Structure 1
Amino acid sequence: MYEIVMGIDDNEDRARIQAEEILDMPFADETVHVTLQHTFDDPEESGAVDEVPAVQRARETLEADGLDVSLASATGTPADGILDTADDRDADLIVVAGRKRTPTGKVLFGSVTQRVVLDTDRPVLVCSGRDT
């Protein structure tokens, strides 16, 4: 089985783009399982991952094409949530969506995508945010 962990924020368009990129990948005869991971700021909300519209959108897109999907959530920083889930699931691939940021914005606010890429030994697919 080929395990993919897809980190999802609150943007439905980015989640759709990520799901479509996964569906465009050539998997040969591999059975593919995708874990949709969302990180909450507030621990009180962490049980409601299936109520996040972006998660719902990605799940619908992937399941409509026959992929097996499960959900995971965490609290804290998004990069830590994605990396921890990837480790827990022994992911073969991590999928994240990039966003356009100015160089100053990257320095001030950091980058989840950058941190995931730099802090893992697993392959990472960075999908274009396409101005979303």
Structure 2
Amino acid sequence: MYRVLLPVDTDDDRARAQATYVTELPEASEAVEAIVLFVFQGEGEELPDELQRFNSASRISSVRTATETLEANGVPYSVVEDSRDTVDDILAVADEHDVDSIVLGGRKRSPVGKAIFGSVTQSVILETDRPVVVTGSRDE
């Protein structure tokens, strides 16, 4: 089984593009397993204990968009959530699940800016020995 990590942020279009890329891999529904990661960044830290159970990645629109796209195309997936530093979390989850590649969703940039990745994307690319794909969003 080929394991792919999809660290999604809160943008639905990027999450859809990441998931669509995975569904277009050869034999995706039979040979690919996707791990959708959402990193909470301070959200919910001040929630009362009785509301913490509602602080779930499955409630995030972009996570639902990615998982719905994967499910509609028969690609098995799991959802992982955490609240560490984004780059450290992506790399740690990639190691924990021994993924074969990481699929990131890049932000729209100017023609010159396309040569420069965002800080998270750049850090992941530089700090991992795994293949990294940057998809952007489907409308780019």
Task: State the TM bucket, normalised to the shorter chain.
Answer: 0.7 to 0.9
Contact 2:33 2:75 survives alignment (8 Å): yes
2:49 maps to none
Displacement, 1:3?
A: 0.7
Contact 2:30 2:75 survives alignment (8 Å): no
The verdict on how the C-alpha distance between 1:131 and 1:114 changes in structure 2, with shifts beyond 3 A counting, is farther
Local SS of the residue matching 1:112: helix
Identity %: 41
Displacement, 1:43?
A: 6.3
Structure of greater Rg: 2
Gaps of 5+ in 1: none
1:4 maps to 4
Q: Which amino acid aligns with 1:24?
A: E
Local SS of the residue matching 2:44: helix
Contact 1:5 1:34 survives alignment (8 Å): yes
Within 2, Cα distance between the matches of 1:65 and 1:28?
A: 8
TM-score by length of 1: 0.84
2:60 maps to 52
TM-score by length of 2: 0.79
Local SS of the residue matching 1:35: strand
Give the one of 106, 109, 127 matched to 1:98: 106
Contact 1:2 1:30 survives alignment (8 Å): no
Gaps of 5+ in 2: 46-51
Contact 1:73 1:81 survives alignment (8 Å): no
Aligned Cα root-mean-square deviation (Å): 2.6
Within 1, Cα distance between the matches of 2:94 and 2:138?
A: 25
Render the CA deviation track for 1:43-77: whole Å, top value 9, x for unaligned.
63685011000000100000111111100111133
1:71 maps to 79
The verdict on how the C-alpha distance between 1:98 and 1:29 changes in structure 2, with shifts beyond 3 A counting, is closer
The verdict on how the C-alpha distance between 1:29 and 1:21 changes in structure 2, with shifts beyond 3 A counting, is closer
Give the aligned length. Answer: 129
